[in-house]
Amino acid sequence: MKFDYTLTIADYRAAQQLHSHQKLGRRIPIIIYWVVFSVITILALVGIITDFLIGQSGRIGDHVLPNVVLICICFLTQTFRSYRIRNNFIRMFPQSETDHNGTLDIDNERILSIWPGLGEAKYYWAGIQALAQDKKITLLYLNESSFLFFPTAALSPDQRIEFNDLVARNMVRKEK
């Protein structure tokens, strides 16, 4: 089975999101930065508004600095994560490459990843540790933190059935 695909930054973001959702240890920092800090910041702002409304404006000064710090933390973590994802995607390819087109050739023995003008890599099924897939992206794990990825939509319905059969046969063989 051979198919071509084009990687976009949206695909890279989807791959990072799917990867982070595979284990609880990867989800905890995201939960802390995105949910806990945001909730604490909103509650602190509600506290300031409440103090103002009930006439306790003298207490507002005590809450301003911690709230500004929380707002900055929330803003900076979200901005830094977006910047880091974008920067990592750009660094995956040489600056001269504007097309991010690749080809995967998958059979019972190996997976051949071809990037025209850049190179190719061959992975044997014995080296594939795990698979993660959703409707946007498919990840083939080489180890716990490295993966080969491609958009799931790059597979036609027939190719998707064939891919799932190849994975089922070769991942079962690996488990024995």
* pLDDT tens string 38-85: 787 788 778 778 877 887 766 666 767 777 787 787 778 778 888 999
Q: Going by C-beta distance under 8 Å and a sequence separation of 6 or more, which residues neighbour residue 112? A: 104, 105, 106, 120, 121, 122, 123
Which pTM value belongs to this model? 0.77
Confidence band for 175, pLDDT divided at 50, 70 and 90 = very low
Percent of the chain with pLDDT over 90: 44
Residue 137 has pLDDT above 90, yes or no: yes
Angle between helices 9-20 and 57-91 (to 10 degrees): 110
* Residue 119: half-sphere exposure toward Cβ, Cα within 13 Å: 5
Rounded CA-CA distance 137/12 in Å is 9
Position 98 pLDDT exceeds 80 = no
Lowest-confidence segment of 9-18, 70-79, 133-142 by average pLDDT: 70-79
Pick the CATH number of 2-8+96-175 from 2.30.29.30, 2.60.40.60, 3.90.1010.10, 3.30.565.10: 2.30.29.30
| pLDDT above 50: residue 176 | no
Whether the pLDDT of residue 146 is over 80: the answer is yes
Ordered by start, the domain boundaries in the chain are 2-8+96-175, 13-91
- Biggest alpha carbon–alpha carbon distance for the chain: 74
